[in-house]
């Protein structure tokens, strides 16, 4: 039997009540956010350095093309409509073309979508890679708030994938 390399660090969450596991844990509050390389809707590689000196919300979701994920995008869009000092990065395994199509159809202009289409290193580094269950290989639902120096102010790994994150709590760090 093959040993699970993530066994020590995995976190149990649920998908409609059934347990599934992530590869690890979210980075600690107070730590520096791990750098990443994700793909924008114009297929440009983007790293954390591309958002230097910007306050960020990292909204990590399984797929923007699902009901709960789309609701989350709309919620962040509405709540941050008048906040030019905060950038929302909506990160999923969706292809950039699908992300762009959904955002265009839903008129989402405040959020910026980034794709893990080329690899899953981002999900691994942030401890949100689903390692079993029907969504294995994509990301769990999580939210991180980062200050302008990309220090982590807040994290939430949503315990049930079919639930929305706590928007108010994530945004209280940017009052």
pLDDT tens column, 1-59: 455 555 557 899 999 999 999 999 999 999 999 999 999 999 999 999 999 999 999 99
CATH 1.10.150.120 for domain 16-172:
no
pLDDT greater than 90 at residue 145? yes
Residue with tokens 């994290």: 155
Mean pLDDT, to the nearest integer, of 86-90?
96
Reported as type and span, the H/E element at residue 111 is strand 111-115
**CA atoms within 13 A of residue 171's CA, in its CB half-sphere:** 16
pLDDT greater than 90 at residue 78? yes
What residues are paired with 86 via a beta bridge? 55
Residue 160, Cβ neighbours under 10 Å: how many? 13
Return d(Cα 112, Cα 98) in angstroms, integer: 13
| End-to-end CA, the chain | 51
Mean pLDDT of the chain: 94
Residues labelled as active-site residues: 69
Q: Give the sign of the dihedral formed by CA 127, CA 130, CA 124, CA 112.
A: negative
User: What is the residue extent of each domain of the chain?
Assistant: 16-172
Phi, psi of 145 (to 5 degrees): -110, 130
Widest pairwise Cα distance in the chain: 54
């Amino acid at each position: 039997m093959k040993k699970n390399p993530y066994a020590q660090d995995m976190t149990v969450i649920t998908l409609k009540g059934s347990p599934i596991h992530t590869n690890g844990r979210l980075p600690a509050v107070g730590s520096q956010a791990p750098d990443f390389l994700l793909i924008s809707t114009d297929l440009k590689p983007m790293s954390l350095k591309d958002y230097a000196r910007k306050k960020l919300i990292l909204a990590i979701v399984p797929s923007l093309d699902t009901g709960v994920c789309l609701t989350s995008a709309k919620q962040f869009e509405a709540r941050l409509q008048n906040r030019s000092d905060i950038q929302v990065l909506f990160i999923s395994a969706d292809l950039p073309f699908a992300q762009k199509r959904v955002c265009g159809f839903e008129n989402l202009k405040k959020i910026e979508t980034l794709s893990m289409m080329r690899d899953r290193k981002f999900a691994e580094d942030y401890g949100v890679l689903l390692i079993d269950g029907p969504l294995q290989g994509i990301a769990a639902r999580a939210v991180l708030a980062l200050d302008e120096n990309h220090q982590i102010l807040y994290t939430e790994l949503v315990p049930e994938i079919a639930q929305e994150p706590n928007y108010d709590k994530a945004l209280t760090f940017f009052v």
